[in-house]
Amino acid sequence: MTAHTIVLDHVEGHEAAALLEGARLVDFLIAGPGLPMPGTIYRAVAERPMKGQGGMFLSTPDGPAFLRQIKGLSPGQELLVQVTGHAEPGKAIPVTAKLLFKSRHAIVTPGAPGLNVSRSIRDDDLRDTLLGLARAAGIAPGMGLILRSSCDGADLDEIAEDIAAMAALAEQVTGDAGTGAVMLLEGDGPHTLAWREWVMPADVLTEPGGFEAEGVLDQLDALKAARVPLAGGGALWIEPTRALVAVDVNTGGDTSPAAGQKANFATARELPRQLRLRGLGGQVVLDLAPMAKKDRRGFETALRAAFRGDGVETALVGWTALGHYELQRKRDRRALSEVLI
C-alpha cells in the first residue's frame, strides 16, 4: 500500500487518468475530442506571417497553427513543428520548431546536442553510470539526450531501453522525406502521460469502474462548481472568461482581524491544485480578501512554494495597482469544462 493511487479509466467516453493522494484527487488528465494532444508532431506548411505578432500561421491536417520566432522562414516552406499546448476555442494551435521526444526516463532533443542528467540526481556514482548509458546509446549526431529525475532508482536496463526507443523514434520522425502537411507523431494520451509523468511509487488501478470505486467521479462533480470552500470557513470562486481566469477570495463568516490573511494564505495553498484539476491556464487574476500590505511578501512566499510542486509552467507576475495578484499559466491541457458535461 502506497500513499498514491493512479486510476486509469474512462469518463463520459473519454480516456482519463486520475492521481489520488490518499483519497484526495491531486491531478487529472483527460482526452477531449477535436484538438491534438501536446507533443503531436506535424510536417507543416508555412502560410502567412503576422508581422505585428512576430509569428507565422502554418497549415496542418488539424487546422491552422501559430509559430513564433520565424526568422528565415518563408511562405510555402515545409518544416517540422510540435504542439506545445491546447488552443483556446477559435484560435490556432500553438506550436514550436524545437522538437522533444519525451518518455518516462529519457528526452531526446534534435538540434540541441549534448548529454545531460537531471540536477535532482545528486549521487555522483549514479550520474557517472547514467552518462555511461547515454554514451553507449549512440545518439545520432546533432541530437541531444536528457536523462530525467525518474532514473534515480529505476532499473538500468529499463532506462537503456527507453533511451533506445526515443532515439529511434527521433531519427524516424526527423528523417521523414515526405511532402505536404501531415501528422507524423500523435501526442501521448492520458494513460501514457500518467505512466510518463507520475513516477512516484503508486498503486495502479486499471479495472473499468475505477473512477466510481475510488470516489473520483464525486470529486469531478465538485470541480464543476465555481465555489471552492477553504479551511477556516472562507471560500474562493474560480470563474473562467474568454480573456482571463478570475479568482475571487472571500472570508465567509470569519470576522476576526486576521480573516483576510487566513483566507488568502489558504488560497495560495489550494490554487495550484484547483487550476491543475480544472485544466485552466492563460492569465489568472486573484481578487484577494483584504490584507495588510506587510503580509503580501508572506503570501507570495506561500504561493511560490505551492506552485513549486506543480507540473505546469506558471509565472508569478505580481501585484497590480488595484491590489490584485496576477499569474500567467501555460495551457498544457484541456479545460475540464470543455470536455465534461
Residue type, 88: E
Share the mean pLDDT of the chain. 93
Residue 61: CB atoms within 10 A of its CB come to 12
Q: Where does the pLDDT of residue 334 fall: very low under 50, low under 70, confident under 90, or very high at 90 and above?
A: confident
Phi and psi of 207, rounded to 5°?
-70, 140
- In the numeric block, which cell numbers belong to residue 233? 470557513
Higher pLDDT, 171 or 87: 171
Is the pLDDT at 1 greater than 70? The verdict is no
pLDDT value, residue 106? 97
Judge whether 101-188 and 224-339 match in fold. Answer: no
Q: Which CATH architecture does the domain made up of 224-339 adopt?
A: 3-Layer(aba) Sandwich (3.40)
Q: For the domain bounded by 101-188, which CATH number is listed?
A: 3.30.230
Q: What is the pTM of this model?
A: 0.91
pLDDT (tens digit per residue) in 171-195: 999 999 889 999 999 999 999 999 9
Give the span between the Cα atoms of 2 and 91, in whole angstroms: 42
Residue 147 β-bridge partners: 106, 117
CA angle 247-250-252, nearest 5°? 150
Chain-centre distance for alpha carbon 270: 17
Is the pLDDT at 31 greater than 80? The verdict is yes
Residue 208: CB atoms within 10 A of its CB come to 10
pLDDT value, residue 253? 83
- Full 3-state SS string of the chain: CCCEEEEEEEECCEEEEEEEECCEEEEEEECCCCCCCCCCEEEEEEEEEEHHHCEEEEEECCEEEEEECCCCCCCCCEEEEEECCCCCCCCCEEEECCCCEECCCEEEEECCCEEEECCCCCCHHHHHHHHHHHHHCCCCCCEEEEECHHHCCCCHHHHHHHHHHHHHHHHHHHCCCCCCCEEEECCCCHHHHHHHHCCCCCEEECCCCHHHHCCHHHHHHHHCCCEEECCCCCEEEEEECCCCEEEEEECCCCCCCCHHHHHHHHHHHHHHHHHHHHCCCEEEEEECCCCCHHHHHHHHHHHHHHHHCCCCCEEEEEECCCCCEEEEECCCCCCHHHHCC
Domain boundaries, the chain: 47-85, 101-188, 224-339
Mean pLDDT of 265-292: 96
Cell numbers 488528465 correspond to what residue?
A: 29
Contact 330, 281 (CB under 8 A): yes
Give the span between the Cα atoms of 168 and 164, in whole angstroms: 6
Provide the percentage of residues in the chain whose pLDDT is more than 90: 83
Is the pLDDT at 217 greater than 90? The verdict is yes
What's the CA dihedral at 74, 80, 86, 91 to 10 degrees?
A: 20
- In the numeric block, which cell numbers belong to residue 203? 498503486
Is the pLDDT at 257 greater than 70? The verdict is yes
